[in-house]
Copies of this chain bind each other. A is one copy, B any other.
């Protein structure tokens, strides 16, 4: 176990050996194993956006096995997906790469301003499928916040009793937040803090913008001149807001975009003390050889090989 992984595990001393071993598996697998940084491949877009929007750009990706294989070959720390996709590959891949079962999912067929995902799998499913963790999305700011937080608490309790780690996707959304507010720095920091307070082991948030959403918060950011001008600063603020850096916070990649933009964003995350990235569409929506090349660069940025 590297010193850095040991240090990180020290923040999770309250967890049972099973949970800590699974956090260690996530930190120790793949090209970034042992560095304390993570790159995870998530493929829930088929459920969240529909199959054509997700896989038509690279049709081999319609196949569930494609993704597990990509995550393995590219040296990702883990592969995360909904039940059907995990069931399709767990028999072959659970011993090869850490699997994260995304146990709740949302779809875009029903439009709603205060969203809440449906629970589509359970910690028991994660257990029988050989996963190391469950993944769960909350939408802080939604009118359904109580139902989500209470469901998260329940699945967290059950998952940890099984020795599974808990990864929380914390995405602010809801009728009293503006669109811009969903990625506002105050809101993202707040959402990350909430996830940590609820017992998340790993927290996934979106890269924050310099916008500040909440009037009461704005006063404080200004009064105390909290530095949020650059993404690096904002990442640093989010990490500090999450138990002073003592929880693993990783950042989503968002929609496919220009590679150099992505790489710059990753540098900022790295330099701000972020622990890594979950990168889906930017990985699997290009041909596999290109994806491997892209992910290699991503990991080199996180390991510091590339400045």
- Which A residues fall within an 8 A CB radius of B? 11, 13-14, 46-47, 49-53, 55-57, 59, 62-64, 82-85, 87-88, 90-91, 105, 107-112, 114, 116-122, 124-125, 129, 140-143, 145-146, 148-150, 153, 157, 172, 174-177, 186-187, 189-191, 193-194, 196-199, 214, 216-217, 220-221, 223-224, 226, 237, 240-244, 246
Roughly how many angstroms separate A23 CA and B240 CA in the complex, as a whole number? 35
Across the interface, which residues of B come within 8 angstroms of A246, CB to CB?
63-64, 88
Roughly how many angstroms separate A85 CA and B62 CA in the complex, as a whole number? 39
Roughly how many angstroms separate A243 CA and B68 CA in the complex, as a whole number? 13
Judge whether B14 and A88 touch: CB under 8 Å: yes
Across the interface, which residues of B come within 8 angstroms of A108, CB to CB?
214, 216
Across the interface, which residues of B come within 8 angstroms of A193, CB to CB?
46-47, 50-51
Judge whether A150 and B197 touch: CB under 8 Å: no
Across the interface, which residues of B come within 8 angstroms of A172, CB to CB?
109
Roughly how many angstroms separate A57 CA and B223 CA in the complex, as a whole number? 9
Roughly how many angstroms separate A242 CA and B50 CA in the complex, as a whole number? 11
A260–chain B nearest beta-carbon distance, Å: 22
Q: Which of B64, B125, B140, B217 sits near A53, CB closer than 8 Å?
A: B217
Roughly how many angstroms separate A10 CA and B5 CA in the complex, as a whole number? 39
Most buried by B among A53, A55, A90: A53
Roughly how many angstroms separate A109 CA and B49 CA in the complex, as a whole number? 25
Judge whether B220 and A176 touch: CB under 8 Å: no
Roughly how many angstroms separate A172 CA and B150 CA in the complex, as a whole number? 23
Judge whether B241 and A84 touch: CB under 8 Å: no
A39–chain B nearest beta-carbon distance, Å: 23
Nearest B residue to A242 by beta-carbon distance?
B51
| Pairs of residues from A and B, 6 with the lowest C-beta to C-beta distance, nearest first | A84-B197, A118-B149, A51-B241, A109-B141, A63-B244, A50-B190
